[in-house]
Structure 1
Amino acid sequence: MTGARELGSTGRTVGPLGLGCMGMSWGYAESARDDRQSVRVIRDAVEAGAELIDTALVYGDGHNERLVGEALGTTGRTGDGPLLDRVVLATKGGLVVDDLATKSMHRDGRPASLTAQVDASLTRLGVDHIDLYYLHRVDPAVPVEESWAALADLVATGKIRWLGLSEATVDQAETAHRIHPVTAVQSELSLWTRGPLWAAPYRRTPSPARGPGSTPVATCSMLAWTRDHGASFIPFAPLGRGYLTGTLAPGEFEETDFRAANSRFTTEAFRRNRAITDAVAEIAEKHDATPAQVSLAWLLGLSDNIIPIPGTRSGRHLRENLAASDLVLSGEERQVLDELPTAFGTRY
């Protein structure tokens, strides 16, 4: 891979693409889960320069954190030392599983609960600190200021190095940033999910020049906010949960697969969204590349602070994905992709 990128304003650089590990534990085609193969993929990713490794408490109710911990632990040694020393290890809390079989969960951003969640994640990962810890979702029953202050306290104690927000609004990010720096924002962003590129109103941090009590309302996209505040933007599902690879078909998903009940993966959705995959495939053919590589190259070209985290359990797909950092799209090709139609169907 080429083109290392700084994580937020930390001074720590990572490869331009990371690895999302959720699908190794739950969400997609769970009958094909293979922990040994997933461990190999995680280790191969780090060797190839994918140094941002992403997991979460809720992924398999702790299973994914244990898996990542095994892959990056002292047994995963290379000539350069333990893999753990070479990565930015990211996990998340604030979402708690109620029933693993049905994947029911609830938000819990209470300070005491977040502290307990962090301690449990440290144990599962087998580490003494977490590099990047996200508030996975803002709990509507708890002011974001309270959740964020509790996590900032854990930074002060050394249990966490940097903080991030997942699927937050611009207003929530601005509020949190007043208390403690937001190093990264993680949200879904891809050729068929572009919400973070749309402007939204938020209460800008008051300026001393305007006097006390002045909280002007501004508009800004989530991506623009991260650029303005020295934060990274981390797109999850950058390949549209596999749709943008052009290899999926309706009706092929297991009952427990997230996509089986999602409106973007119905027969009608595949028909109505075909213009998206056709355009991506056409550009890919010109470059002798895969549609996944084109999709990732488009993301990387949006902004220097973007670090996508495509997920895979396949060594071949891992290598293909990481090669996207070397693919340069022309201005005309980017315009074609920029103007693709809005995807039919909802995200959730």
Structure 2
Amino acid sequence: MEATGLSVGKSVLGGALGYAKSTVAEEVALQLGITRDQAFIRDELEMMLSFLMAAHEEQDENKVVKTWVKQVRDVAYDVEDCLQDLAVRIGKPSWWCFLRTLVDRHCVATRMKELRAKVEDVSQRNVRYRLIKGTGPKPAKRAGPSSTSDATMFGIEETRRQKDRAKVDLSQLINEGNDDLRVIAVWGTSGLLGQTVVIKGEYNNLMRSKKFKLYAWIRIVHPFNPLDFLQCIMRQFYQTSLEEARKTQEITSIGAQVLKKIGVMKQDELVDAFTEYASEKSYLIVLNDLSTFEEWDWISKYFPNNKKGSRIIVSTEQGEVARLCVSQESVMSELKQSSVDQSIFAFYNKVNIY
């Protein structure tokens, strides 16, 4: 009977773990901003499955173990039901529009945190009551009472180290690669402010190092205004170009006239001037607070791949927009600049650096 209970528990937990690790679950977590909770639940389920396998090998008849196995099975059902429910709901356009409101995002986040707490509580009971011994060959001498706890903590720490090694640095993404234009889209789990601070730090460092010839930091205005956008970017391009050149007072006077002329140019004239100017020099452009893919679709067509190692950094509060700004096949990595309170992710295409 015990073996049957363990087998059923392993089967149910294995199904829940498979779903928690699936691409669908990761996509749901990404769009709802709950990737940290989803990752924690996934890792805890993996540890529970390992403990169940150890219990099965030991054929433990302890009634307390039976109770714990039942609790593991129940929480596995809850995890799978919750993730599947969110996946079904997010597939309905009307519900997704409704979910985008702050109140409903809060409700989803609360539900996931409650589920996370339940998973964590069940996992800790195994450690608290030392229900299942460690795996591997049985030692001749009885292991100390803290061996299971130590093994559990080691597994958690090893998982954390592996995640840290997988993180990337924003400056690395900007500097690596060939001379092709590269787009890096940044999205965070706790709003725009945290990611803006990270990007601004890298932007200022690059301006000081003069790695690029042209710089522009553009906060996208809503509703989007193409003419204002082009005027703003051309002013910043021309100003940074003048600062780099450090020309005479006469040239500065000419520069002021050019800046004034930009203010009265028509949109087609600005497009031509921008394309010509950006084709000749390397540039770094930050687009802050991009909210829709339609905005990016309009903006991106005017950025030439001038083969000078230019970079565009897009900052958005929408995970799906961040992914689409790069490509459907983009890679997503957590940035090393993430904090305890916020995970920050970068979407980018892998490049051949040789």
TM-score band by shorter chain is: under 0.3
Greater share of residues in strand: 1
Q: Which has the higher contact order (CA 8 A, sep 6+)?
A: 2
Greater share of residues in helix: 2
Per the normalisation by structure 2, the TM-score is 0.27
Per the normalisation by structure 1, the TM-score is 0.27
